Amino acid sequence: MSGSCLQRTWSDAWRPPDRSPPWLWAQRHIAAIPYSPVPGRFRIENSPHIREPLEAIVAPAVRQVCILASVQSSKTTAAELALCYVIANLPGPTLWLNETDDDAKDQAESRLHKLFEECEPVRALFPRDRHKKRTATVHFANGMTLWVLGAHNKTNLQRRSIRWIFADECWSYPQGHMAEAEARVTAFGWLGKCIWMSQGGEEGDDFDRKFETTDMREWTFECPHCRARQPWIWEQVEWSKAARDDQGEWDFAEVRRTAAMRCVSCNFYFDDNDRVRRELNATGRFVPQNLRAARENVGFHWNSLSTMSWGTLAELYLRAKAMARRGDINALKQFHQKRLARPWREYEEDYKLEITRGGYRKGELWEDEAGVSAKGQIVAAPYEPGDIAAPLRILTVDCQMDHLWALIRSWSANGSSRLIWFERLLTFDDVDALQERFGIHSSLVFVDAGYATYDVYRECAKRGWTALMGDRRPTFVHKTKTGRSVQRFYSPRRKVVLGHDRHCHVFYFSNLNCKDALARLRRNQDPERGATWEVPDDIDDEYLAQMESEHRIKKGGKWLWERIGKRANHALDGETMSVCAAFMLKLIGREATEAPPSDAPVDAPEPA
């Protein structure tokens, strides 16, 4: 060995490690990130939210680092930069995990090896011999070994003693494999460190529980107008609710144009552009949300709001909601997991009613409301008070074990309708009082008989009400007076005899088709586009929440409406029964266009 070579080796051996912050070290030594869309040298200003995670990864007092972040927001890049720093300054046996062995191979070839070549201190340690630079295992000149493996293969998580674990996309690991990997650092005591990274997974999965053991630091910004510090909250992003086309569908160009984020404190609206996001990120700081966590467990969370157009996110969200209403929740699930970096669960906000309030208040008179004549015929507005026996108002009652939910919807002759009341009641006498208060014809009171069926039949027989039963059948066969068979969403009227001179009428109805029809009716609050379906300005949140308590899904090859978790669905059931009654009265549906409304007698809703 020559003297100069010996001197260089001796100098390298005694050179103190670089203890500058990893982000500053990366700025000095990483000439480029080959796979980054941002050309040139690494600059922390381009991703200020990864500064603190980089510092935590190498902090001596920290044992666990969890990064819960959106896709394409430098989450993995932060760990790759930290890995370069570790190789050059804190070497030790290191395990980098991806989902599968194939993913790990791609990670090594397309990202890690290319980054090593752009980092001079690491490149100097990187083997020149291609046989020593295998994809799965790299032995660096300073004695450090790096394994890049798949977490799904349990064998990869055993046998080795590891100082550093970098685990990417932990949400996809099989249950228990994070714990298997974590056990590998035990031999290194306080020197062992685990860095877990992921988008959102499922609520309660291994990564979600691990993140909850940390201090759960949230990326925040400071409003330049009121100085309030706040997280990047999706619910603060707003767009014009009038951004719809002639068919009532979302005009996504207008959604993107009008999207803005509102300050939670002063209500200032921030414009949706990269300059505004850079200015807000420049004030960024992580704020711990779990102050009871152990100091050695550190967690970081950020979402796409700090890095991506809010208008684009709004379009993704609205398209995902539309797909969810058709029964496919995958896009909505991915929006929460990948864009908002949340563990998936049913978020109530996703199912809130998207309607324009009708510009009226509960109980107000409606000039378009139709009436019912003394002969049981529907009379269109305008009419004289003496022309009708009762207003065309349908009262539906959803029965529970110890209470009732009553809903009143007013109808016009052309199929438009307005909700005028929704209330929780205790007894059928309370229903009597509500019926009398709003002047509702007894044959326009419909009661759900799915629960306590006999009691409902008895009360209906006593008062002249009609019992309804939801059914899985899509249609029911009716015979017309001419002998023709027709299919309808409700059954022929059935008479239930309860005793001497006591009986009630019962109809079965298609739960699927009536709820589908309700979903279609709810989409129109614009009078210029035909029949409208409206709710009052002062409707309460309980109604809105209950209206979004079910979604349409496919099970066993058949479509059905299924309850979401344990959400109360009484308003939805009440509105569905009102739609069923409107079908019977030929206010809506195909038969409404085949015969004039006056041909539909109230006491005999099936066609003559």
User: DSSP for 266-305?
Assistant: T-PEEESSHHHHHHHHHT-EEEES-TTS-TTEEEEEE-GG
SS3 state at 550: strand
Across the range 519-531, mean pLDDT stands at 68
For 414-451, the pLDDT digits (tens) are 889 999 999 999 999 999 999 999 999 999 999 999 98
Phi/psi for 541 (5° steps) reads -65, -25
Ranges of H-type helices in 187-237: 206-212
Identify the bridge partners of residue 494 per DSSP, sorted by sequence position.
506
For residues 378 and 591, the answer to whether their CB atoms sit within 8 Å is no
Please compute the mean of the pLDDT values over residues 222-246 and round it to a whole number: 92
pLDDT digits (tens, 9 = 90+) for 349-388: 665 556 556 689 998 989 999 998 888 888 899 988 788 8
Mean pLDDT (the chain, rounded): 88
Lowest-confidence pick of 12-16, 293-297, 444-448, 501-505 = 12-16
CATH number of 371-599, picked from 3.30.420.240, 3.40.630.10, 3.40.640.10, 1.10.3720.10? 3.30.420.240
**What is the bridge-based pairing of β-strands 285-288 and 217-222?**
antiparallel
* Structure confidence at residue 527 (pLDDT): 54
Residue 600's pLDDT is what? 37
pLDDT band at residue 73, thresholds of 50, 70 and 90? very high
Helix (H, G, I), strand (E, B) or coil at 219: strand
* Tokens linked to 316: 């993704």
Q: In this predicted model, what pLDDT tens digit does every residue of 389-404 receive, in sequence order?
A: 899 999 999 999 889 9
Say how far apart CA 359 and CA 525 lie, in whole Å. 11
More confident residue, 474 or 597: 474
Q: How confident is the model at residue 520 (pLDDT cuts 50, 70, 90)?
A: confident
| 370/367 Cα distance (integer angstroms) | 9
Determine contact, residues 286/301, Cβ cutoff 8 Å: no
Written as six digits, the tokens of 76 are 């993995």
Bond into 382 cis (ω within 30): yes
Domain 28-216+289-302, CATH? 3.40.50.300
The 10s digit of each residue's pLDDT in 253-285 is 999 999 999 999 999 999 999 999 999 999 999
Token pair for residue 516? 């589908």
Strands (E), 103-215: 137-139, 145-150, 164-167, 193-198
The torsion region of residue 287 among left (phi > 0), alpha (psi -120 to 50) and beta comes to beta
From-to residues of CATH 3.40.50.300 in the chain: 28-216+289-302
* Alpha carbon distances (Å) from 432 to 307, 362, 439, 566: 57, 19, 10, 30
Residue 519 confidence (pLDDT) above 90: no
Q: How far apart are CA 394 and CA 392, in angstroms?
A: 7
Give the up-direction half-sphere exposure of residue 368: CA atoms within 13 A in the CB hemisphere: 15
Residue 517: what are its φ and ψ, rounded to 5°?
A: -65, -40
Domain with CATH 3.30.420.240 in the chain: 371-599
Q: Give the pLDDT confidence score for residue 11 in this predicted structure.
A: 53
